[in-house]
Amino acid sequence: MASLTDRFGTENYEQRLKPMPPILVIANPQANRGRVRHRRAQIQRALAAAGARYDWQETEYPGHAATLAQMAGAAGYVTIAVAGGDGTVSEVVNGLMMADDPAVQPALAVFPCGTGNDFAAAAGFVDSDTQTAVCLIAGQSRAIDIGRVLLHADDAAHTRYFNNSLGIGLEAATVIQADRIQRLNGVMLYVVAAIRTLLHFRPAQMEIECVRHDGHSQTISGSIIMVSVGNSPRTGGGFHLTPHAKLDDGLLDMGVATAISKLRLLSLLPRALFGKHTSDPAFTLYQCRRIHIQCADGIPVHADGELLSAAAQKIEIEVLPGRLRIHDVRGNNDSSIKKKRG
């Protein structure tokens, strides 16, 4: 199997004349402390059983997945399958958004190999590698929304896309803490990180202006401990902070938590695993098209589990409806797989 770099090379003319495999697998060998290395054979068996033609490309440095994804459509790939976690998926999505020609954007699929795998769960890529491999061959896709955020911090600004969630305040500080914890995975990693963060985190004065689903504007201001913006219901390995969010409704769900006691926050933590925290009056949900947040003192921000800034002062968020295509696994189950093989 040739790498994507080989396909763009000029030194191997005969190799470049061979038919292009329609699937590019972008694998992050560092995801979840090297889990991809253990999963590679399993994923490749599933692809082979489905009759998939593919190139397997492992990332070699931070940002490599975005570079590969940015070039993939122009190189002729019609599908990118990510073998990695939420961070790798997000990096690939950002690469796709930077591509020159959106008309040849490959559809996305995921073989979940990360710590949280929140986006994979929301998009349906969690049942089996075999099911995912078969859906790649079936070629059915659907359009989903993504979010775009413009951050201002210390007189600098930069743009980032997110496909799953964006968190501000306590949620982002928990991501910082989670990166320091070893030997834990999934939801337990984020539970422990959240408890540790609660001990010292302080709310911040924010002013939030959002354009709601009905087109009307609303302003929320005061002492706020957390803002969660969800394109999907899940974040942090299984917390349903925005439990009603949908990938394809043209909206972003925003949850705002006002300042409350640490003990009360701690009591909300297990309820947030099931989306039951929303009944607490300190937590309010909104459905938005655009969100502007200002915090003079600066506040941490993460997107898809990756820290964007430790002290953002102005945050501008908007939804891009239907901007990303993903493979549709909803019609593929074990019985349909057996029928295709038979």
Average pLDDT over residues 322-336: 75
Which residues are 303's β-sheet partners?
A: 166, 306
pLDDT tens track for 164-203: 999 999 999 998 898 888 777 778 888 899 899 988 899 9
**pLDDT band at residue 342 using 50, 70 and 90 as cut-offs:** very low
* Torsion-angle region of 117 (φ positive above 0: left; ψ -120 to 50: alpha; else: beta): left
Least confident segment among 149-153, 157-161, 215-219, 338-342: 338-342
Examine the pLDDT at 5 and tell me if it is beyond 50.
no
CB 146 within 8 A of CB 93: yes
Q: Which domain holds residue 222?
A: 146-322
Instruction: Show which of 104, 124, 139 is a domain's final residue.
Output: 139
Dist. CA 203–CA 242, nearest whole Å: 20
Q: Looking at residue 331, what is its pLDDT? A: 64
Look at 174-178, 252-256, 332-336 and tell me which has the smallest mean pLDDT.
332-336
DSSP E strands: which ranges in 213-341? Answer: 217-230, 252-258, 283-303, 306-327
Residues 111 and 151 in one domain: no
Distance CA 249, CA 230 (A): 12
Same domain, 108 and 249: no
Dihedral sign, Cα of residue 265, residue 269, residue 274, residue 275:
positive
DSSP 3-state of 187: helix
Tens digit of pLDDT for each residue in 211-231?
A: 999 999 999 999 999 999 999
CB atoms within 10 A of CB 213: 15
Does 217 reside within a domain?
yes
Mean pLDDT of the 223-252 span:
96
Of 77, 109, 139, the position where a domain reaches its end is: 139
* More confident site: 147 or 155: 147
- Those residues whose C-beta lies under 8 Å from the C-beta of residue 180, and which sit 6 or more positions away, are none
| Residue whose tokens read 């996305």 | 108
Kindly state whether residue 292 falls inside one of the protein's structural domains: yes
Average pLDDT along the chain: 89
SS3 call for 75: coil
Asked whether residue 134 falls in the same domain as residue 162, the answer is no
Domain assignment present for residue 328? The answer is no
Whether 242 is in a domain gets the answer: yes
Burial of 111-143, coded b for 16+ CB within 10 Å and e otherwise, reads bbbbbbbbbbbbbbbeebbbbbbbbbbbeebbe
> Is position 334 within any domain?
no
The answer as to whether 340 is a domain residue is: no
* CA distance linking residue 68 with residue 125, whole number of Å: 21
pLDDT value at 9 more than 60: no
Number of separate domains in the chain: 2
Identify the weakest region by mean pLDDT among 153-157, 214-218, 230-234, 266-270: 153-157
37 and 126, same domain (yes or no): yes
Report, as an integer, the average pLDDT of 27-33: 86
Domain harbouring 276, CATH code? 2.60.200.40
The contacts of residue 116 (CB under 8 Å, 6+ apart) are 85, 86, 186, 187, 190, 234, 235, 236, 237, 238, 305
Q: Domain holding 91: CATH number?
A: 3.40.50.10330
Span 43-64, average pLDDT: 95
CA distance 318 to 309: 18
157 and 65 share one domain = no
**Is residue 341 included in any domain, yes or no?**
no
Mean pLDDT of 102-118: 91
305: phi then psi, degrees, rounded to nearest 5: 85, 5
pLDDT beyond 90 at 281 = yes
Q: Are residues 113 and 170 in the same domain?
A: no
Q: Is 333 a domain residue? A: no
Which residue shows structure tokens 């769960």? 121
The verdict on 203 and 128 lying in the same domain is no
36 with 58, same domain: the answer is yes
Note whether 128 and 153 are same-domain residues. no
Banded model confidence at residue 314, pLDDT cuts 50, 70, 90: very high
Domain check: are 60 and 117 in the same one?
yes
Domain boundary among 111, 139, 167: 139
In angstroms, the CA 137 to CA 304 distance is: 28
How confident is the model at residue 291, as a pLDDT? 99
Q: Looking at the structure, do residues 134 and 220 belong to the same domain, yes or no?
A: no
Q: 80 and 128 in one domain?
A: yes
